[in-house]
């Protein structure tokens, strides 16, 4: 997947689960500045290149959901 360029519209979920959606204002060596409707934010390039691993809380929520679903059958 190519990295976004200036003027591209992007939507990315950061590792802290915050979703940023907006237009790329500028790109530097380590990240890019995204101007959103509500706020602007510097986003590290790794947010666009590294696959996000499951967070331990996500695993617990998924397990609990699967157990509830299995109990309804």
For the question of whether the overall pTM of this predicted structure is more than 0.85, the answer is: no
The CATH fold assigned to 9-72 is SH3 type barrels. (2.30.30)
User: How far apart (Å, rounded) are the C-alpha atoms in residues 6 and 28?
Assistant: 10
For residue 5, the SS3 value is coil
All structural domains of the chain with their residue ranges = 9-72
**For residue 24, pLDDT beyond 90:** yes
User: How far apart (Å, rounded) are the C-alpha atoms in residues 26 and 31?
Assistant: 9
- Predicted confidence at residue 33, as pLDDT, reads 94
- In this structure, are residues 34 and 10 in contact, taking their beta carbons and an 8 Å threshold? yes
Q: Tell whether the torsion through CA atoms of 9, 38, 51 and 47 is positive or negative.
A: positive
User: How far apart (Å, rounded) are the C-alpha atoms in residues 12 and 50?
Assistant: 12
């Amino acid at each position: 997947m190519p990295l976004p360029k200036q003027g591209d519209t992007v939507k990315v979920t950061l590792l802290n689960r915050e979703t940023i959606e907006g237009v790329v204002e500028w790109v530097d060596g380590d990240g890019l500045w995204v101007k959103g409707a509500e706020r602007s934010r510097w986003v590290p390039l790794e947010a666009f290149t590294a696959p996000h691993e499951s967070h331990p809380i996500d695993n617990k929520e998924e397990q609990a959901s699967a157990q509830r679903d299995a109990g309804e059958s």
